[in-house]
Amino acid sequence: MGVEKFQEKLIELIGPMESLGDDRTVGWNGSYFDGVHPQKQAGLNYVGLSVPVGRTNSDEFDALADLADKYGDGKIRTTISQNLILTGVPDDKLEDLLKEPVLQRLTPDPKRFMSRTVSCTGNEFCNLAIVETKERARRVAKYLDENVQLEEPVRIHFIGCPNGCGQKSVADIGLQGSLIKTPDGMIDAFDIAVGGTLGPGAKYNTALKGRVKGEEVQLVLAQLINYYKETRVSAEESFHDFVQRVGTETMQSKLTEILAAS
């Protein structure tokens, strides 16, 4: 029949179809909701909490469930950035909620790099993993928070094998676990990819050549991010826009230079 004939026949049978309606797309922010935000319902708020590298435990979940009942509408939402949202919190309960002990770690006001680092499970619990990821991701984010001053968020995603459960392909900087041979045997290493995003201009990131030893990831990332910070045209230029402007070849040259000096 072909598409047009099929459509014609379908409309003949079911009548006119609903239009697509207004486009309400408001961009994509990586599913980050840190902080306190007003809801559509007057006087109510939702509170986005950061879960460092997406790892929590049953004690924290018990405490959060109690907080959701005590301060909110009894609901906890999860985000694809491995974080949590408490909803339906009235204005007059916000101050007391924010003082609760569990929110000191699962904070609505996280440090920059820790808040934007995502990791898959890695070899601690995943049979397919080639390397450890979660604890390494936490150490790398902590190092970057302590050593790189940057307001603009950079999304860093770790995965332990090519399956990509940590959404490495859409990260500003994606790290994929692998192994390299050294005189002392095989050791954990990572391939680095740069420039991924979703939303307008959606694009998978591009892998650079040059495998980075596991223990050197934080030093290499600090230098790559500082290069972005010092070379961007303005403080408003995001890491993604920067990579698109300078091109993958420039990022490759910088990584090659960093690795040669390490």
- Looking at the Cβ atoms of 19 and 125, the one nearer to ligand SF4 is 125
> Are the C-beta atoms of 172 and 195 separated by less than 8 Å?
yes
**Alpha carbons 218 and 155: distance in angstroms, whole number:** 14
- Looking at the Cβ atoms of 108 and 174, the one nearer to ligand SF4 is 174
Residue 260 Cα to chain centre, angstroms: 29
Shortest spacing between CB 166 and ligand SF4, in angstroms: 6
Size of the site for ligand SF4 (CB under 6 A): 13
> Taking CB under 6 A as the rule, does residue 165 contact ligand SF4?
yes
Could you give phi then psi for residue 77, rounded to 5 degrees?
A: -105, 150
> Taking CB under 6 A as the rule, does residue 175 contact ligand SF4?
no
DSSP state of 28: -
**Alpha carbons 158 and 137: distance in angstroms, whole number:** 7
> Taking CB under 6 A as the rule, does residue 102 contact ligand SF4?
no
Choose the stretch contacting ligand SF4; rule: CB under 6 A; options: 88-96, 163-171, 196-204, 244-252: 163-171
> Taking CB under 6 A as the rule, does residue 161 contact ligand SF4?
yes
Shortest spacing between CB 131 and ligand SF4, in angstroms: 8
> Taking CB under 6 A as the rule, does residue 121 contact ligand SF4?
yes
**Alpha carbons 201 and 223: distance in angstroms, whole number:** 26
**Alpha carbons 212 and 240: distance in angstroms, whole number:** 21
- Looking at the Cβ atoms of 67 and 161, the one nearer to ligand SF4 is 161
- Looking at the Cβ atoms of 113 and 158, the one nearer to ligand SF4 is 158
Shortest spacing between CB 134 and ligand SF4, in angstroms: 10
Can you spell out the DSSP letters for 51-110?
-GGG---HHHHHHHHHHHHHHSSS-EEE-TTS-EEEEEEEGGGHHHHHTSTHHHHS-SS-
Shortest spacing between CB 226 and ligand SF4, in angstroms: 28
What sign for the dihedral angle of Cα 229, 234, 239, 242?
A: negative
Q: Please give the angle made by the CA atoms of 244, 143 and 61, to the nearest 5 degrees.
A: 100
Residue 127: CB atoms within 10 Å:
6
DSSP state of 17: P
Region 139-158 residues binding ligand SF4, contact defined as CB under 6 A = none
Choose the stretch contacting ligand SF4; rule: CB under 6 A; options: 73-81, 117-125, 186-194, 209-217: 117-125
Shortest spacing between CB 157 and ligand SF4, in angstroms: 10
> Taking CB under 6 A as the rule, does residue 195 contact ligand SF4?
no
> Taking CB under 6 A as the rule, does residue 129 contact ligand SF4?
yes
**Alpha carbons 179 and 189: distance in angstroms, whole number:** 5
Q: What does the binding site for ligand SF4 look like in residue numbers (CB under 6 A)? A: 120-122, 126, 128-129, 159-161, 163-166
